[in-house]
Amino acid sequence: MLSSSIGYYGLILGLICSLLLTFFNLQNFRAQKILNTRILSLTFLQFLFVKISFVSLIISFVLSDFSNETVFNNSHSTKPIFYKIAGVWGNHEGSLLLWLLVLTLFTLIFLLKTKNQPLQYRILTITFQQIIIIGFFVFVIKTSNPFNYIFPIPDEGLGLNPILQDPLLAIHPPVLYLGYVGSSIIFSSALAATTLGLISKSWAIHIKKWVLASWIFLTIGILLGSIWAYYELGWGGFWFWDPVENVSLMPWLVLTTLLHCILVLQKRLILTSWVIILSISTFTLSMCGTFLVRSGILNSIHTFANDPERGLFILIFLFILIFFSIIIFFFFNKRNENNNVNFFWLSKETAILINNWFMMYFLSVVLIGTVYPIFLDVLTTNKISVGPPFYHKLIIPFLIPFLIMMGIGSRLKWIKSNLEDKAQLILALIISILIAILIVKNLDVKFLINITLISSAFYLFLITSRDFFIKKEKNNSQKIAHFGFSLLILSILVNNLFSTEIITNLKVGQQFENSNSKILFKNIIQKDEKNYKSIIGNFIIENNNGKIEEFFPELRIYNQPKIVTSEADIKTTFTTDRFMTINVVQNQEYFNIRYQSKPFMIWIWLSVILISCGGILSFLNKEYEK
């Protein structure tokens, strides 16, 4: 009870600091001398108060203080201590408090790390940040207070959804939020630089660090969520175009595009409008994700809340930010524009610009597929679901030229290029087509689309692999990231083309057999754990190559809350994942068995790790600090 009171007053004091900071920022902005020391002190105090508030909520969860409504709704005394702590951000109120903590932390870091930047730019960026922070403070205190008191005090809590009680999902939200909230600094910085006419090569070098940091965290956050969904939800795949998955993908697409535009701006002081629009769009899409997840209009395992009032608040706040950003862009961007822009048709910046348009097309497809069902439901009350076929049909044809352009673009020079190694590029394309024909010839699939898709993927893979052997180019971060992306596309294609699946219903003792596999349902093992009962199936699987494996997929029946989950048994090798789940067939003695063979699954995860490593290497490169 005491920790809840401390936490609540920490939020109030943090809001007061925000209001004072806004006042002193505007005062100091007009003075144009040196940074007012009270600004730094208040920024530190603001972070300290939010940190005290967050720690207070952690203490309430650890102590199972059920007088706190958030703890009562999302915890239970039998929960392991690790999941009690993870439960702090595994709910709507706690996750917003984490947002606020990261927002104030990034604001403090920005203030400390920009001592060499112009004073007005620093102050204006912090002022824009405070507008965002004040909005979140009001939102948390008014509609999503994590410290509400309930009386009489319950003896026990309602518990947390067991699906969310997982080590990866405990790490996934904080990492993802670091990516989302990092985009707020990019947003505020771009608005400040636009207002002051400071969009320049030096600004590009400075802001690139923040773009990279946000992009790295978002990439790793999406990876962790994808791995969790793969083994925990029993889908047997890495991506299912779930609306909340799409919500995290959209800012990643914009951030990736922004990162390449920053490279061009750093070299030639062009694409300034692109940089500003993408900087605004990144944070806007992060906020849109917050609205969709918390408004209750999305139906997904990932969604936190079902409260239209909360969604309406975020929507109004988002519209204010967008309107404010558009005004700044149209009124102040003219001073940043460089009218003497000449693009040679064969240059690295031209290739980046073309691929930017491809990325914007992919973003549009994902955005329409996510939002269209919502608008249709509001306008006509008809409910539809947009699934993988929609995205595949619209994205795959444009992915082919995108991959080819990416392979060629990495070989081009800035300003003007003449493709000195075009013979090698043509050879790589021929080899790619031959490999694709050999693969597709043995498959019962559509010939033309798969030939072009696989050959373009192999083309990018061969080009990016070759880059490691070119000594004159020392941009290792780009080489690693692009190679990781080519490996990702290739792994996804192999995974989709060669995956096999068996779905059948079996009783204990029964056997299923086809031309590829023989599945024997040997017996059932039952166990009683601390907070759930376990039913473990014992299966013997013999593949057509004579290899015999034993699988133990599991059903867990939790006591609080009362829910049944399916735990997959996965055998992983460097070439293939074998994946098995069981589920009860209602009112029958049968169990539903799902057995999948997923080639190159581990390479999907490893390729994303490589992409992230490329970003980390670029972030640590001291060259960009000069």
Question: What pLDDT is attached to residue 485?
Answer: 94
Judged by DSSP in three states, 304 sits in coil
Same domain, yes or no: 150 and 190: no
Same domain, 93 and 11: yes
* 455 within some domain: no
Report the amino acid identity of residue 66: F
Q: Is the pLDDT of residue 228 over 70?
A: yes
Confidence of residue 624 (pLDDT cuts 50, 70, 90): very low
Are 369 and 321 members of one domain? yes
In-domain check, residue 473: no
Domain shared by 207 and 257, yes or no: yes
Residue 466 lies in a domain: no
Place of tokens 């059920």: 66
Please tell me what DSSP assigns to residue 585.
P
Distance CA 192, CA 102 (A): 21
Burial (CB < 10 A; 0-12, 13-18, 19+), residue 124, is buried
- Give the number of other Cβ atoms within 10 Å of residue 623's Cβ: 9
Least reliable range by pLDDT among 188-202, 377-391, 557-571: 377-391
CB atoms inside a 10 Å sphere around CB 616: 18
Q: Tokens 């932390």 label which residue?
A: 105
pLDDT of residue 626: 39
CA distance 519 to 542: 7
CB 60 within 8 A of CB 68: yes
Same-domain status, 379 and 509? no
Give the residue from 365, 396, 420 where a domain finishes.
420
Would you say residue 500 has pLDDT above 60? yes
Q: Give dist(CA 511, CA 25) in Å, integer.
A: 73
Q: Characterize 34-46 residue by residue with b for buried, 16 or more Cβ atoms within 10 angstroms of its Cβ, and e for exposed.
A: ebbeebeebbebb
Residue 110 has pLDDT above 50, yes or no: yes
Residues 266-288 pLDDT 10s? 888 888 889 999 999 999 998 88
What integer pLDDT is reported at residue 345 of this predicted model?
A: 67
Q: What is the DSSP string of 80-135?
A: -HHHHHHTTSSSHHHHHHHHHHHHHHHHHHHHHH-TTS-HHHHHHHHHHHHHHHHH
Question: Angle CA(574)–CA(576)–CA(581) in degrees, nearest 5?
Answer: 130
The answer to whether residue 479 is domain-embedded is: no
CA–CA distance, 166 with 144 (Å, rounded to integer) = 25
List the one residue out of 498, 520, 528 whose CA is nearest residue 593.
520
pLDDT of residue 539: 93
Q: Is 426 inside a domain boundary? A: no
Are residue 287 and residue 204 in the same domain, yes or no?
A: yes
Q: Do 66 and 191 belong to one domain?
A: no
| pLDDT at position 296 over 60 | no
Q: What angle do CA 168, 146, 157 make, to 5 degrees?
A: 70
Percent of the chain at pLDDT > 70 equals: 90
**Residue range 537-558: average pLDDT?**
88
Q: How far apart are CA 406 and CA 492, in angstroms?
A: 17
Residues 247 and 352 in one domain: yes
More confident residue, 474 or 90: 90
Give a yes or no: residue 610 inside a domain: no
Residue 516: how many other CB atoms lie within 10 Å: 11
Whether 103 and 193 have beta carbons less than 8 Å apart is answered as no
- Collapsed DSSP state (helix, strand, coil) of residue 234: coil
181 and 154 in a common domain: no
Distance CA 279, CA 199 (A): 12
Domain check: are 351 and 202 in the same one? yes
What's the pLDDT at 533?
86
pLDDT band at 170, cuts 50/70/90?
A: confident
Indicate if 117 and 192 belong to the same structural domain.
no
Give the structural domain span for 561. 500-601
Copy the structure tokens of residue 535. 């039913």
- CA dist., res. 345 & res. 351, Å (int): 9
For 438, the enclosing helix (H) or strand (E) is helix 422-441
pTM for the model stands at 0.91
Q: Does residue 582 lie in a domain region?
A: yes
**Nearest CA among 204, 174, 160 for reference residue 100:** 174
Would residue 65 count as lying in a domain?
Answer: yes
Say whether both 60 and 190 belong to one domain.
no
For 413-449, the pLDDT digits (tens) are 777 666 666 666 777 778 887 877 777 666 665 656 7
d(CA 448, CA 84): 53
Which one of 372, 401, 420 terminates a domain?
420
Query: Which among 240, 82, 84, 256 is positioned nearest to 179, based on CA atoms?
Result: 256
Higher pLDDT, 7 or 558: 7
H or E element in which residue 527 lies = strand 517-528
Q: H or E segment at 185?
A: helix 167-196
Count of structural domains, the chain: 3
Nearest to 313 by CA among 612, 477, 96: 96
Choosing from 107, 124, 159, the residue where a domain stops is 159
